[in-house]
Amino acid sequence: MKRPTGLNKIWLMAGAAAAVLLGGAGLYMLNSQPKALPTGAVEDGHVDEGVGATAQEGVVELSAAQIEVVGIAVVTVGSGGGGEVRLSGRVEPMVDARASVAAAVAGRVERVLVAPGQSVRVGQALAVLVSGDAAALSADADAAQATAVAAQQAHRREEDLANQGVVARRDAEVAHAQALGAEAAARAARARSAAAGSPDAMGRVRVGSPISGLVTSVQVGPGGFVAQGGVIAEITNPARVEIVFNAPPAVAAHVRAGSAIRVTTPAGEVEAVVTGVATGGGESGATVIHARSTGGVLPPAGSAVMGTVLTGETVAGVTVPSDAVQTVEGATVVFVRTATGFRAVPVLVGRQAGGRSEIVRGLSGAERIAGANAFLLKAELAKGEAEHGH
């Protein structure tokens, strides 16, 4: 055998290096391919004992380890479920969100301190009245207080004299009773004065707001006269709103305080909770459902909204998670767990509520099925059919 010359040696070494580089590159490309849900490999015209859609229609073979790796949740079939009721409603101020501020006593309007649209806080003065009746109430309170003080002093003197034996003990007891009566009369006079707005000695009364909010209207002006009970201003708190729905009478038997309700507004969906259910009188017996927002901002009062409430009504058949229901070649199916993987079972779906779907026909209720990520099995079936089509 002829030995290679020096030039031939160089060419042989270069060829070997190229082969090594190409082999390494091929190995890298093979190992770097993205991993997907595995399918059966075909070799020499035969299907390996791998995984994936098999020749049997609607079957995907997966081991327990592979199911865990791809993240397919295996869940049990439930029984029963809830129903959904759609209701029309309106955003309205709460009962404590509106106040019509009235004059406790008749009098002349000396000053108006607010204007429509102005923000006010609790206790802030809205107007100042000057009232003769208020001045009389203030004077009565002062006089009653003075009488009470005099009665207490007289009682102390009678007690001292009784202790010294100068007067009978009965006289001290009478003085004590008179002092107690005078104090009670003073308390009543002070209460009447406070109810009138605690006027000063000149009968000047500051009318304050009972709630925080916005002034929506002012009914009086400086120099005018307002009768007792006359409205001075109206206040509304725009943040204190609720949703009021009108519902059929049958809904009252299934909706309770605390039930979740999904509200659709022009700006999007808002989560809410039912705060009360009241059955109205009359022949219609209409049900009124009150709810408040638990997440999100409601539109202004007067806005129309739609609500979807989950009732406790039991439905027939069994229920599965809604994401377990898939569509394969136009048929609605659920993937039932088998010893070797999953099998697509055609089902008839009924109502949907609370993330679950009612299965009217197709399942007995004893099956274990693919829940979350069941769409991966649908994709695997489609891929297996495409491979068999070549």
Residues 6+ apart with CB under 8 A from 39: 50, 51, 52, 53, 380, 383, 384, 387
96-131+209-237: CATH architecture = Beta Barrel (2.40)
State in words which class domain 135-202 has. mainly alpha
Q: What is the predicted pLDDT for the residue at 329?
A: 85
Least confident stretch, 47-56, 107-116, 369-378: 47-56
In the chain, which residues fall in CATH 2.40.420.20?
52-82+316-388
**Is the pLDDT higher at 388 or at 199?**
199
CATH 2.40.50.100 domain position(s) in the chain: 96-131+209-237
Calculate the average pLDDT of the chain.
Answer: 80
Angle separating helix axes 132-164 and 169-195, nearest 10 degrees = 160
Mean pLDDT of 118-123: 95
Residue 39 has a pLDDT of 41
In terms of C-beta distances under 8 Å and separation of at least 24 residues, what long-range contacts does 325-331 make, across chains too? 325/349, 325/357, 326/374, 326/375, 326/377, 326/378, 327/378, 328/58, 328/378, 328/381, 328/382
- State how far the Cα of 370 lies from the Cα of 390, in Å rounded to an integer: 29
Start-end of CATH 2.40.30.170 domains in the chain: 83-94+240-311
* Location of structure tokens 């409205």: 231
One CATH from 1.25.40.10, 3.30.479.10, 1.10.30.50, 2.40.420.20 for 52-82+316-388? 2.40.420.20
CATH class of 83-94+240-311: mainly beta
The larger pLDDT score, comparing residue 207 to residue 254, is at: 207
Range 182-206 burial, b when 16+ CB lie within 10 A, else e: bbebbeebbeebeebbebeeebbbb
The boundaries of every CATH 1.10.287 domain in the chain are 135-202
Distance between CA atoms of residues 104 and 230, nearest Å: 8
- Flag whether pLDDT at 245 surpasses 70: yes
